[in-house]
C-alpha cells in the first residue's frame, strides 16, 4: 500500500498580508496546496474576495479579512477573526508593501510617511498581535518579506530602502524576544521579481514569483527548533553585488 505523506504545513493556520495580488496571492495558493488553513488580508476587498473564492473552489479553507495593515484597529480585528475562526495561529507572513520612486529632495513628508506606515508600521502591528497569540501557544513562525534594498539600496527609493532596513531590525528583535517561547522570525530579501511593483525597472533581469515562493515555503517548513534568520534570493544576472 502506498503511504500518503502529510505536508509539514498541513493544517497550519497561516496569515498572509497583501494577499490579493502578486507575491501574496502566489503564496496563498502555495500554502493552500500544502494543506494550510489560510487567512488572507488586503485592502482591496473586491480583489481579496476574488482570490479567496478561487482558492475555496479548489477545496481550500480560506478566511479573507479586509485589512489596512497601517491601521491599528484593522490589524487587531484581523487577528481576532483569525482566532475566532481557527483558534490558533501558526505562521504569519508579513508581505504587504508598497514602493514609490523619488529622489531624497523630491520625497515629500506624505510619501515618506505612507511608505513607512505600510512597509514598517504594518509588519510591526501584525507582529505584535501575532506574538501575543504565539507566546500563549509557545510556538509560531513569522516570515517578513524584505528586499535586497536592505543591503544594497537603490537610488531614488529613500523611503522604501529605509523601511526594508528597518524590517531587518524588527525581524531580529522578534527572533530574540520570541526564542524562549518557541517563536522564530525570518526575513527573505527578494531581488527583482516579475510583478506589477517592478514595472519601473523593465530592462533589469527578473525572476518569477514561484522562485520566491519556494524559498518562503522552505522557511515555513523548517523544524520548529530551526530558523533561517535571513536569506537573499535574486536573479543571477541582477546587478546586486558591486552595485553599492
pLDDT tens digits, one per residue of 23-45: 999 999 999 999 999 999 999 99
Residue 199 has pLDDT above 60, yes or no: no
Categorize the per-residue pLDDT at 167 as very low, low, confident or very high, splitting at 50, 70 and 90.
very high
Whether the per-residue pLDDT at 225 is higher than 90: the answer is yes
Residue 94: which of 130, 60, 58 has the closest Cα? 130
CATH number listed for the domain at residues 13-233:
3.40.50.720
Please, which residues bridge with residue 184 across strands? 141
Q: What is the pLDDT of residues 66-95, one digit of tens each?
A: 999 999 999 999 999 999 999 999 999 999
For this structure, is 240 an active site residue?
no
In the block, residue with C-alpha cell 491601521: 71
State yes or no: pLDDT of 176 exceeds 90. yes
Give start and end residues of each alpha helix (H) in 87-191: 109-116, 122-137, 158-178
pLDDT category, 204, cuts 50, 70, 90?
A: confident
Choosing from 160, 184, 186, 195, the catalytic residue is 160
Of 244, 140, 157, the residue nearest 198 (C-alpha): 157
Model pLDDT, residue 196: 66
Amino acid at each position: 500500500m502506498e503511504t500518503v505523506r502529510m505536508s509539514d504545513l498541513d493544517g497550519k493556520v497561516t496569515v498572509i498580508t497583501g494577499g490579493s495580488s502578486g507575491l501574496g496571492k502566489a503564496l496563498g495558493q502555495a500554502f493552500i496546496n500544502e494543506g494550510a488553513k489560510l487567512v488572507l488580508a488586503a485592502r482591496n476587498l473586491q480583489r481579496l474576495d476574488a482570490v479567496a473564492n478561487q482558492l475555496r473552489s479548489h477545496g481550500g479553507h480560506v478566511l479573507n479579512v479586509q485589512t489596512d495593515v497601517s491601521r491599528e484597529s484593522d490589524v487587531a480585528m484581523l487577528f481576532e477573526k483569525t482566532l475566532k475562526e481557527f483558534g490558533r495561529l501558526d505562521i504569519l507572513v508579513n508581505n504587504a508593501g508598497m514602493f514609490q520612486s523619488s529622489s531624497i529632495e523630491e520625497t515629500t513628508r506624505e510619501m515618506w510617511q505612507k511608505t513607512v506606515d505600510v512597509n514598517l508600521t504594518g509588519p510591526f502591528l501584525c507582529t505584535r498581535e501575532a506574538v501575543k497569540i504565539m507566546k500563549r501557544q509557545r510556538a509560531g513562525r513569522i516570515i517578513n518579506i524584505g528586499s535586497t534594498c536592505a543591503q544594497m539600496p537603490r537610488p531614488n527609493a529613500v523611503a522604501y530602502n529605509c523601511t526594508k532596513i528597518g524590517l531587518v531590525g524588527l525581524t531580529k528583535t522578534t527572533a530574540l524576544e520570541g526564542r524562549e517561547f518557541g517563536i522564530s522570525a525570518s526575513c527573505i530579501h527578494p531581488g527583482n521579481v516579475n510583478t506589477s511593483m517592478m514595472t519601473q525597472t523593465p530592462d533589469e533581469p527578473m525572476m518569477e514569483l514561484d522562485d520566491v515562493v519556494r524559498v518562503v515555503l522552505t522557511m515555513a517548513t523548517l523544524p520548529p527548533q530551526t530558523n533561517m534568520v535571513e536569506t537573499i534570493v535574486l536573479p543571477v544576472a541582477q546587478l546586486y553585488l558591486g552595485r553599492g
